[in-house]
Amino acid sequence: MAARRVSSLLSRTLSSSLPLSLRKGSSCGRGLSRFSSTASAIEDPIIPNVDIKHTKLLINGQFVDAASGKTFPTYDPRTGNVITHVAEGDAEDINRAVAAARKAFDEGPWPKMTAYERARIILRFADLVEQHSEELAALETWDNGKPFQQASKSELPLFVRLFHYYAGWADKIHGLTVPADGPYHVQTLHEPIGVAGQIIPWNFPLIMFAWKVGPALACGNTIVLKTAEQTPLTALYVGKLFHEAGLPPGVLNIVSGFGPTAGAALAGHMDVDKIAFTGSTETGKAILELAAKSNLKPATLELGGKSPFIVCDDADVDKAVELAHFALFFNQGQCCCAGSRTYVHERVYDEFVEKATQRAKRRTVGDPFKSGIEQGPQIDTEQFEKVLRYIKSGSESTAKLECGGQRFGSRGLFIQPTVFSNVQDDMLIAQDEIFGPVQSILKFKELDDVVRRANTTQYGLAAGVFTNNLNTANTLSRALRAGTVWVNCFDVFDAAIPFGGYKMSGIGREKGVYSLSNYLQVKAVVTPLKNPAWL
């Protein structure tokens, strides 16, 4: 899901539906705007009355200031106002956090306690999250800009489900007995890998926390997690809940900071045994290089995508339009696996374009705390301006701008839902990961041709297929070079379904049983048998 543009390692980059406690009320002081001075405020933004309790670094079970004493602001992307200031961790803080995690792994109870007791702590944590879910959803929306209904009704329940899933795995991790040639008893042990460094992105802060932390803890590891600088608040909140659930000090450490300082220090640390990262492909390469140059630590990388969504000629066009719309515009288009190349068969192309354009025009954009809003703001100025540059590129090409193409409103990081038709494969909007609400619709005629075109990309994260023909579905599912292929659905993220990419979309898989191997080592134990005659 990944996705994305986590803090770069190389450059700094529903009123009536809310519970009463989260409706407009007092807030943290309004700070300096990070947007143009020509912008005017969105009308009457809803400010949740949420008590922001945790803004320091979480190291060895305690919230502490950064060693430098520095803080940085985290912003409300609807208005540009400062929500609060958060401790800014750097290399020294990473050293402190890794030392705590190392001691907790080598000397502490977590890897030594029974798997059943680890599972009970994870389950108690999930229960605490459920008790605080509305407040967490409000914090996620405030810090990230995603619709409150999405955060509260979809993402928080999935967050809890993911930890229930991994708690269930904790006492089911075991090795094998292996037959050997000769009088030997051979067994394998699956052991925790040690200190896991984890770097999560801003587009799904809580969900990415679960994808990383859940399997690592279930396997008995300790963790140093770096949040994205754009969205640090919910990770710190749930970190406190984990300790309330009984997690020993030093097992989960959380450092908020920037890529060139905290991120690079974590990826290259000699005492970190494994690194996991979700973000851009460019930054993933830098992470891999740092991991290799330090101690050759293994890396799990969930990176960029440019996923095809293929609408075949037998499709119910109305249903295909709605699913393709969701596949692209979900989460403001800020989704690593977004169906951003919409391939439509020539027989239904014109009808599809007309209906997709009308659907995009009906999409509701505005304050994500308001009822009925489908699309909030982009995460920050950098992302906002990048999306507009790609729209400009599309407009200057031979593609046809069907709707959108401009900012929405006069303040905040809102972009009109944008649809291009007549898009060609060599255009930037068809090649690059835009990570915004921009749908590119391409025409195809033959199945073999669309497979070739869909696979002609550096990415291979996901794909979508819309057809009523079983043979077509089976053919495309096997022919498309992607880690996930959704047939007549999209963005199904069940806890048990593995997720990851082919080619430059990453290394390894997250979620499901396959994610456990990221945090385990296999040890072979060989013992001679004294009475081989009994074999």
User: Annotated active-site positions, please?
Assistant: 302, 336
DSSP string, 348-359: THHHHHHHHHHH
- Closest to 515 in 3D by CA, of 73, 144, 208: 208
Cα separation, 338 vs 328, whole angstroms: 5
Decide the pairing of beta strands 184-192 and 177-178.
antiparallel
Cα separation, 289 vs 102, whole angstroms: 23
Cα separation, 195 vs 183, whole angstroms: 37
Q: How far from each other are the two terminal CA atoms of the chain, in whole angstroms?
A: 51
Phi, psi (degrees; rounded to nearest 5) at 497: -85, 120
Tokens found for residue 353 = 């374009």
Alpha helices in 263-329 (DSSP H): 264-267, 281-294, 317-329
DSSP string, 410-464: SSSS-B--EEEES--TTSHHHHS---SSEEEEEEE--HHHHHHHHH-SS--SEEE
Helix (H, G, I), strand (E, B) or coil at 249: coil
Answer whether 397's CB lies under 8 Å from 353's CB: no
Which residues 6+ apart lie within 8 Å of 112 measured at CB? Answer: none
CA 4 from chain centre, in angstroms, equals 6
Counting Cβ atoms within 10 Å, is residue 106 exposed (0-12), middle (13-18) or buried (19+)? exposed
Q: Tokens 């329940």 label which residue?
A: 157
Tokens found for residue 224 = 């140093």
Answer whether 244's CB lies under 8 Å from 250's CB: no
The CB density around residue 114, as the number of other CB atoms within 10 Å, is 10
Q: Is 530 left (phi over 0), alpha (psi -120 to 50) or beta?
A: alpha
Counting Cβ atoms within 10 Å, is residue 164 exposed (0-12), middle (13-18) or buried (19+)? middle
Tokens found for residue 530 = 């004294």
With vertex at residue 425, the alpha carbon angle to CA 423 and CA 431, rounded to the nearest 5 degrees, is 100
CA 331 from chain centre, in angstroms, equals 11
